[in-house]
Every structure is written in C-alpha cells, then in structure tokens.
Structure 1
Amino acid sequence: MAALTPAQVAIVRSTAPILKEHGKTITTTFYRNMLGAHPELKNYFSLRNQQTGAQQAALANSVLAYATHIDDLGKLSHAVERIAQKHVSLFIQPEQYQIVGTHLIGAIGEVLGSALTTEIKEAWIAAYGQLANIFIKREGDLYEAAGEWNSWRKFKIVKKEAENDGVTSFYLEPLDGKSLPKFLPGQYVSLQIPIPELDGILQSRQFSLSEAPGNKHLRVSVKLEGPTEEPALEDLAAGKIAGLVSNRLHKRYNVGDEVELSPPCGEFFVNPADTSAAKKPLVLVSAGVGATPLVSIYDSVLASETASRPITWIHGARYSGSSCFVPHILETAKQHDNVTAKIFLEDAKDGDAFDFEGQIDLARLEKDNLLHLDNQEAEYYICGPEDWMVGVRAWLEEKGVPRERQHLELFKTGDI
C-alpha cells in the first residue's frame, strides 16, 4: 500500500475536530453495522462494554488520537503497543482489519453524509491502511514470539482458593500437558468461556497472572463482580450485566471444569533478568485487587539476580477482608532487608495488620524516603481503580517523577 501523501496527512489531521464532535456516533454506527454483517465477531467483544458505550468511546478516542498525531506517530507508541498486545490476546487476525476498515469508513460516510468528500474519504482509506499495517506487523511479531500457542488453549481448574471476601484464585493447568511459556511478571491472559443461554456466544476477559512464572500451572485471581442473583435473559443479552465472566467463574466454575486461555500478553511488566536494574528502586502501589499483577512482579524480582534492589510495596484496601495477599506481602518483606511494605486500611479494626488508617496517602511516606522520590532511576508500578491511578500519577508528577518511570495497569477498555 502506498504511503500517505503530505496532502492526505494534512486532510486527516484537519478532520480531528469533526471526529471529536461526531466520534461516538461514528463508532456506535460502526459497531452496529459491522456486528450486524459479521455476527461471528461478537465473540471478540464484551457485551457489557458494548452496552455501556465503553467500547465505542475507546475506539472514538483512538481514532481521534490517530488523526491528531498522524504526523507524529511516535506519540502513539504506548497506545499502539497496548492495543496490539490486547489484540494478540484475542487472536485478532490480519484479514479482520479489512472488515473493520470497510465498516469504519462506511460509518464515517453514514454519519457525515455529503461532508465526507471523495478527497477526505480517500485520505482516510489510506490512513486506515497505514494504521492497520502498523498493527498487523507488530501483532505478527508477537504471534511469532508466542510460538505454538497460536489459538485458544484448554485449561483445567486444578485448585480454587479464596484470597479474601471477594477475590478467588484459580489454578489452571493445560489439558495438552505441554509446558508453559515463561511470561514476564505483570502480564495477563485472556480467559474465555461460553454463555450457553446466548447460543454459546463466547466472552473473554483479561486477568493478570498472580504468580511468578515457572510453575506447571497459571494462576489468575478474580474479583467477584455483578449481581448476586441470576439475571434475566433479556438483560444478559442486552449486556446489562456487569461482571459477567468473573461472576460465572466464582459461582459456576469449580475444580475439574475447563476454560480457554490465550498466551500471556501485556506491556505492564518487569523483566527480572535485566541486571541493569539491580540498584534501581522499585515502588509498587496497589489498591484492592490491583495487587494481582504486582504480586507476580514482587515474587519474581525477589527470586532473581535483581533481588537486592530496594523495594517498597504500598497496598490499600477498604477493610482487612478486601485486602489482597497482605500476609504474603508482609511475611516476604520480613525476610528481606531491602523490602518495605506499608498497608493502608480505610476501616481498620483491632487485630488487623496495617500501618495507616484511611485511603492510600503517599505524602505520609515521604519523610522516610520510602518512595525514593530523589532517585532518578526509581520505577513505579501502579494498579487499582482508574481514577485513583490517575491521582497517584498526578501526585508523583508533582514530585518530579516523569511518566516514563510510571507504569499503570488498566483493568478496562481504553487507555489513561
């Protein structure tokens, strides 16, 4: 495919204000038309995200960002990597980009009408082709790295264990008996289950791996969400049910049952084999179930050649019964002089293990230098609710920590 001409780049960039105004309408039209023409693609999308508009909003924001930065695509590198990793975890294939392109350009035309001139349409066709090629190339590299694991793989639940009042860990072993890849701690897998009431439509969700690599099983720790009672079929079909997959895992899946997994993916990770990081402080900040990817990072680093690096883990929860992995965090910290753990509980009781009552307040840790704010090599890994993470990031930026040294993991569609 020919590269965009300078004139086409200018045209696409000039459409950014139009996309900002009409983006949600365009992407809503796009999904309606594409899924109507290709119902088999429903298996790739969350029913809930379609119903709430989160999927449409995420695509609208991505298209707008592309138009805005089409003459400086380096600014989109993080977003491209995040999306490519997600696509690979769902086994998106190159030929599906043609389907998406056809319906995206069609939706733009349907919404804008005569405002979509031939010149603008041709520019956007070329621009979409360029973007598709970027994703196809990156995803091809990731598929190659995954090796034989190139389709959904069946796993059996061999252990189901409650971690707290709302989080349960599932230990999963591959049915084929083959070995598991050494993933990078912090990464996730996509887990897929059928929804029999909806003609077996498949639904997948991403769950962080909550153990260090190297076992014969993979562990995911899942927070129970959604209704306590069985939902009405019409609500289920309409995507009105929050926590569909997590709820079913908790209530319907037990030892011996099977699920399907994709290979580990994700750009949120630490490489314990990177010995150049041995002296770089590592600060982990988690809220609630946000501890799941961080416990994999924590254990992996402490079992590696970089185990001596200074580590601070700050974890917060509403109450003791909603905290994640705290006994393990604290016991491990006691065994390593270079590790400090601090626990915040909003509703602390006598006998609870905690250091501070209230929500996580990083300012309370400043005076002891536990945050390593004066170290220009310190790295920060943050996981929890979106708004909370944005707040932590802003606080760290005010203290002089650039975004390049802050790593945030988002448990939802889109980016922050």
Structure 2
Amino acid sequence: MAGLTAEQILVIKSTVPVLEQYGNQITHGFYDGLFRDYPSSFEIFSVTDFKTDRQPRALAGAVVAVAKNIDNLGALSGAIATITNKHASLGVVPEQYDLVLDLLLKELREVLGDAWTSEIDDAWSTALRIVADALIATEKGLYQSTNGWTTWKELLVADKKQESDEVVSLYLKTIDGSALPPFKPGQYVSLQVKVPGQEYSSARQYSLSDKPSPDYYRISIRREIGQSDLTAPGSAPGVLSNFIHDSIKVGDKLKVSHPFGAFHLDSVSANTPLVFVGAGVGLTPLVSILNAVLESPQERQIHFIHGSRSASARPFADDLIALANSNPNLKLTFYESKDANQHPYENAKITVKSGHIDLKALSAEELFLGDKNTDYYVIGPTQFLAEKMEELKVLGVELDKIHSEAFGPGS
C-alpha cells in the first residue's frame, strides 16, 4: 500500500487484538469528545444511535476492519461505498476529516497509554490519513455527479399520504416546478429538519420509495416508538419521525440532499429473475426497485417477500396487490408475526404465512434457485439482514448475487 512501509503494515496488523478489546471504549470516548467540543456534530450524527451504542460499535468495527485489511483495502470496497455515500448525503467536507483524525488518534493514545508506542502512532497516523484521503477522493466524485446540488436544497411537500398504521409518505417537488434529477432505484435522500425545542437540526436518511420521476421524490417514514419529549434534544428515539408524522404538512418546505446510496438496482433492462426480501419499513427501497423494473419492457420473474407484524402495519399492500394482479410474473409472499389468519388479502398470487420470514422453508422454484443469475435484494434491520444472508448462502446462492443493506449504522 502506497505510503506505508512493510514494517508499518505489520505494526498495524499487530494492533488488531487490542483494538478488538478496547474498540468500544475508544470510540465512546471519541464521540464524547466530539459532541462536547463540537456540538454542531449533532446535526450529522443521531444521538440515539450513540446512546444505544450502535454508532460507537460501527466506528470500532470500521477501525478493526482497516487494521485487518490494511494491505488490501479493496476488500472493504462495499463498506467504503456505503460510508462515502452517506457522508455525501450529509455534506461532509474534507476539513472535517482533519478533526476526526485528530480526535481519534487522541483517544487511541489516551485509552491504550504505554501500549501505544511511537512506532504504532506513526503507522496509524499514516494509515488513517491514507484512508481519509481515499474517502475524500471518492466523495469528491460523488459530489461531482450531482450537477451542483452538493448541499441542502429546499423542496416542497406537495402531498402527504398515510401508507399504514406506522408509515407516512411525503411527496417532494421543486419549489419552482423544475425537474428533479434521476436517481438509481434503491437510493435515499437525507432530510435536515429543525424540530422545535431542539438546539440543533437533525439529519436522517430516508429511502426513495417510488421509481425515478422528474416530477417528485417519494419518501416513506415509519413512526418510531419511544419518543417522549421534543424539548430534550436527542434524548429519546423517534423525535424526528414523530415530528414528521404529526407536524409536517402539505405546503411545508424541507431541506433535502441529492439522492445517494450504494444499494440500488444495477440495470432495469436485464431479464434475470429477482427476489426481494424485506422486513418492516425496509421494503421502501425494494418498492422503488420493483416499480422501476415493472416499467421496463423486460419481463422478469419476480418474487417479493415481506415480513411485518400485521397487515395493518404493512405499507403499500394495496399497491403491491394491484401490481401482482396486472403482472403475471410477479408473486407476493407476506409474512405476519401477528394475526396472519385475519389478513384482508384474497388473491391466488398472494401467499400469507404466519411468523417470520424463513427462506429455507421456501421451495427452490419460489426462490429461482435453478437460475444462477438470479439477483437477491435483501434489506432490513442488521440482525434480520445477517440471518437472511446466511440462509441464502446455505441455499447455495453466491455472495455476489446478494445485494444487501442494513437500516441504521453498524451494517
């Protein structure tokens, strides 16, 4: 690796055990210092993700992954794509990397003390700079692809629609009526919202939940349970989603990023089979991909598999059923962990099962396992994602045919 000597690479690899042992302590200290000394960081990071340990674990895992793969960072290309797309959606700039590197090295020195020798410090200082420069260069390319939309842009809430008991969709349009840029089905935008009573704005990513259109972007947001006090910044989960559900109305303006995201459909024009596997609100990017595919002239065999607590909690159910009725190549399988026998669906093309998604219980024909070119798009919470990917691997699906994204950090 350019910039690191062979000796420095060995030094960095030798630190893996200690980083695995103290990683969370190091990254907790890092975020404590970041929020204390640079409180504007609240506008980028979710405090809930920090307090629930998801963000520190994600950073600790990233540091360990860099150490393990310092001589082959190409092995981390998927993670790097995820990170850089998220950074671009938040408007991260190169100067912020200098701050992060200084704080992270400071915490490494403090936590590990005498074990952190000058040789280790030199090697890690060089390595982190190389990684940061690589991320900056990638993000520069992402920004250059936006035709100048690199910061927050105000869009108009043109419509608001309740999709289920828990999910509401916002339809966003440009204020002047101009066309919105295209995106790749499966991508997301970030919103930056100032919730009354909070000192800082909050930024969150929401998947685009419909096919690309120059007329509007649709995002669909689940109301998070646990919100209790809008006046306590970041103290409870769901502050932003509850505010959007309860207070955002048609005619309001929202600050929105350009679409980004490494999880997306590669080509709508292919004709290979597709299997979509999603849980909860994780179906939103899958609906975007599905709608785009069904608009193409190619006729692909598609199996859309989704799990929810109940029929009333499932967004877009009517839309999916209408698509299945009009497309002979589309099959739906709905899993419901509660009240599966009380569902409102009456359609031979829709299978409703009780419990949670179990891919191993489906037939080879249902998963198109006979065609090695079948693509599998899997999205949902981290644990769900890990389980479904393992099930697909057990079934013989090659890793390069599984396209996945976990909602939330730590993926």
Using structure 1 for the length normalisation, give the TM-score.
0.93
Per-residue CA deviation, residues 31-60 of structure 1 (Å, 9 max, x unaligned), is 222333322222111111122221111101
Say which SS state the counterpart of residue 407 (structure 1) adopts: strand
Q: Structure 1 residue 284 and structure 2 residue 263: aligned?
A: no
Q: Structure 1 residue 361 and structure 2 residue 358: aligned?
A: yes
Task: Look up the match of 2:42.
Answer: 42
Task: Look up the match of 1:379.
Answer: 375
Change (3 A) 1:232 1:281: closer
Match of 1:404 among 393, 400, 407: 400
Say whether the 8 Å CA contact 2:23–2:60 is kept in structure 1: yes
Say whether the 8 Å CA contact 1:153–1:174 is kept in structure 2: no
Say whether the 8 Å CA contact 2:382–2:410 is kept in structure 1: no
Task: Look up the match of 2:261.
Answer: 266
User: d(CA) in 2 for partners of 1:35 and 1:77?
Assistant: 29
Q: In structure 1, give the amino acid aligned to 2:224.
A: E
- Offset at residue 337 of structure 1 (A): 2.2
Say whether the 8 Å CA contact 1:288–1:323 is kept in structure 2: yes
Say which SS state the counterpart of residue 198 (structure 1) adopts: coil
Per-residue CA deviation, residues 294-334 of structure 1 (Å, 9 max, x unaligned), is 111001011124x3121111122221101121221122122
User: d(CA) in 1 for partners of 2:333 and 2:56?
Assistant: 39
User: d(CA) in 1 for partners of 2:18 and 2:175?
Assistant: 50
Say whether the 8 Å CA contact 1:89–1:190 is kept in structure 2: yes
Change (3 A) 1:351 1:321: closer
Task: Look up the match of 2:332.
Answer: 341
Q: In structure 2, give the amino acid aligned to 1:204.
A: A
Q: In structure 1, give the amino acid aligned to 2:215.
A: K
Deviates more, 1:391-400 or 1:325-334: 325-334
Identity, in percent, stands at: 37
Per-residue CA deviation, residues 260-292 of structure 1 (Å, 9 max, x unaligned), is 11111111111345x3x22x1111112221211
Say whether the 8 Å CA contact 1:283–1:311 is kept in structure 2: yes
User: d(CA) in 1 for partners of 2:267 and 2:181?
Assistant: 15
Q: In structure 1, give the amino acid aligned to 2:305.
A: I
Say which SS state the counterpart of residue 169 (structure 2) adopts: strand
- Offset at residue 2 of structure 1 (A): 6.8
- Offset at residue 350 of structure 1 (A): 4.4
User: d(CA) in 1 for partners of 2:359 and 2:46?
Assistant: 35
Using structure 2 for the length normalisation, give the TM-score.
0.94
- Offset at residue 124 of structure 1 (A): 0.7
User: d(CA) in 2 for partners of 1:225 and 1:37?
Assistant: 29
Say whether the 8 Å CA contact 2:229–2:239 is kept in structure 1: no
Deviates more, 1:252-261 or 1:100-109: 252-261
Q: Structure 1 residue 311 and structure 2 residue 302: aligned?
A: yes
Q: In structure 2, give the amino acid aligned to 1:410.
A: A
- Offset at residue 85 of structure 1 (A): 0.6
- Offset at residue 26 of structure 1 (A): 1.0
- Offset at residue 362 of structure 1 (A): 2.5
Change (3 A) 1:232 1:262: closer
- Report runs of 4+ in structure 1 exceeding 4 Å deviation: none
Give the total of aligned pairs. Answer: 405
1:136-215 correspondence to structure 2 within 5 Å: 136-199=136-199, 201-215=200-214
Aligned-residue CA RMSD in angstroms? 1.8
1:110-129 correspondence to structure 2 within 5 Å: 110-129=110-129
Change (3 A) 1:23 1:208: same
Task: Look up the match of 1:225.
Answer: 224
Gap regions ≥5 residues in structure 1: none
Say whether the 8 Å CA contact 1:272–1:304 is kept in structure 2: no
